[in-house]
Chains A and B, each alone.
Chain A
Amino acid sequence: MQADAIPPRPQPAVRALNCPSCGSAVTLRAAGYSVTVGCPSCGSILDVNDAAVKLITEYHEMAAGLDIPLGTRGTYDGIEWEVIGHLDRSIYGAWPWEEYLLFNPYYGYRWLVTDGQSWSFGELLTMTPGYLTYDTLCIGDMEFRRFFAEREVQVDRVIGEFYWRVAAGERVASAEWAGPGWMLSRESNANEVSWTLLKLLTPAEMAEFGVSGVPRRPWPPPPHMVSPHRAWLGTGLKVAGAALGFLLLLMVFFAGGRWSDAGWFPVSAGVTGEQTVTIGPLRFDRPYQRVEIRAEVPRLENGWLDLDYSLVNRADQKVYEAYGAAERYNGVDSDGAWSEGSRASQVSMASVPRGEYDLIVEYRGNKWDGGYQQTFDGWMDAGNAPRVGILVRTGGLYGANLIVAAILLLLPLLWGLFRHVRFEQARQGESDFDPTGAAALFRTSEDEED
């Protein structure tokens, strides 16, 4: 059995008429759908529901130059739309914005809405959004957070044709919710509630309607504008993570070699002056290397050992120097026993060239006698046989270099985060409700009072 064919939707006819007020020709572009039309010459509102056109509101003033003249056609998302009406709206004369009514005989009506900086494409919804929380609405996967509280808005001026009897002074209650790239508007009066979904348009999309000079980044940002820094931050964090991972791999790959024991040397009992030992030759094979020297003083207690190192190149007598000290203390006070310091000292020399070297170590043992209730202060006594062991190794990367590199990697991200927070604070600063997310960061008590 063949189903009944669906009758085709009637095509709107273009109808020409004359304004009863000024006599100018008025073209009705959606005849059969539109119930009112504004005269583009004098702005008078005409009732076109009857065969005899009636004058509803007469305006003897020139229709202001619109950003998009009525009759302009533009393509959005592959569909051609014709601009047939224009509304000036405001909140009792303040915070004005404009709305253009678009028409396509196959797709019906849509809106272009602008606050003078940004433009949005609006579509009347045939469904009611759901509530996720008391301040969050949803349509499918799209979420919208409350942005403007409900207030009364009015129509200030009407030009063109509309599908309802609109006139200057018409008032409705309006509230808005904003999501990334989208905005949800609810308008209600005693008879109906309507929801409109608005998508933020790009300058290129508005150029399709002949509007140029639309700012790429309007300031303050419109409620539904996505922070241009957010996506960059997300990708940047991944890039930074990969870079840091690579640096850690380099740390492992270039890890230092094994310590080689260069010798153990006695520390003179008593304070008798500096002692000197020469260790060598030490052979370094890489063009340049980090050389680490470690001193271990097993008997050290309540004293310190000064260590002067000089690496002398046997070929050219160039000297590389470093200084270290092993310090170790302990004692007892009112809080109990304490100790600090280490019985070992480690230093490194940077960029030592290839060659054969002698390591000259000048060292001097010292006793600390400023303690109170010391448990032990005789580490240099002959009975303890105090001594110092010297160990040497080459290679390895500096941990401090890794920290510097990490800071350099993160600096641009911190700058991006700062700009993202600034953007969100400016965007949500327009809202009637408390900021959330990044905009809630770094708020002062004065901000919270506002």
Chain B
Amino acid sequence: MGRGTFFYALWCLAVIAGFLAAGIFGYSPFAEGGRAHGGARAGIYGPTHK
């Protein structure tokens, strides 16, 4: 195994570990909700059709 492949495999392991850790903690930076920190919401309603 070349040095580049070795380091890339390490990188893949790190990504998998991060993914697994996020799964164990039920975390995602893209979750719609989480611990309340205040702040207001805003939204626009109505169809976007034309």
Residue positions of A touching B, CB distance < 8 A: 231-232, 235-236, 239-240, 242-243, 246-247, 250, 254, 286, 288-291, 304, 309-310, 318-325, 327, 329, 331, 333, 338, 340-341, 347-352, 366, 368, 370-371, 395, 397-398, 400-402, 404-405, 408-409, 412-413, 416
Contacts and interface: CB of A to CB of B under 8 A. Distances in A.
Interface in B1-49: 1-2, 4-5, 8-9, 11-12, 15-16, 18-20, 22-36, 41, 43, 45-49
A264 to B, nearest CB: 22
Contacts of A338: 49
A239 B12 CA distance: 8
Contact of B31 (A318, A348, A413): A348
A347 B49 contact: no
Given A232-B4, A329-B49, A350-B31, A239 B9 contact: yes
A236 B8 contact: yes
A401 B20 CA distance: 10
A24 B30 CA distance: 84
Contact of B45 (A304, A347, A413): A304
A397 B33 contact: no
Contacts of B35: 318-321, 351
A-B pairs with the 7 shortest C-beta distances? A322-B33, A350-B31, A398-B28, A290-B26, A329-B47, A400-B30, A349-B33
Given A309-B33, A370-B46, A400-B28, 20 more contacts: A232-B2, A240-B12, A243-B16, A288-B24, A288-B25, A288-B26, A319-B35, A320-B36, A324-B32, A327-B45, A329-B47, A347-B32, A348-B28, A350-B34, A351-B27, A395-B26, A397-B23, A398-B28, A405-B15, A405-B16
Contacts of B22: 397-398, 401
Contacts, number: 135
Contacts of B9: 239
B33 to A, nearest CB: 2
> Interface residue tally of chain B, by bracket?
35 or more
Contacts of B43: 325
Given A243-B12, A320-B34, A349-B33, A340 B19 contact: no
B32 A323 contact: yes
Contacts of B49: 329, 331, 333, 338, 340
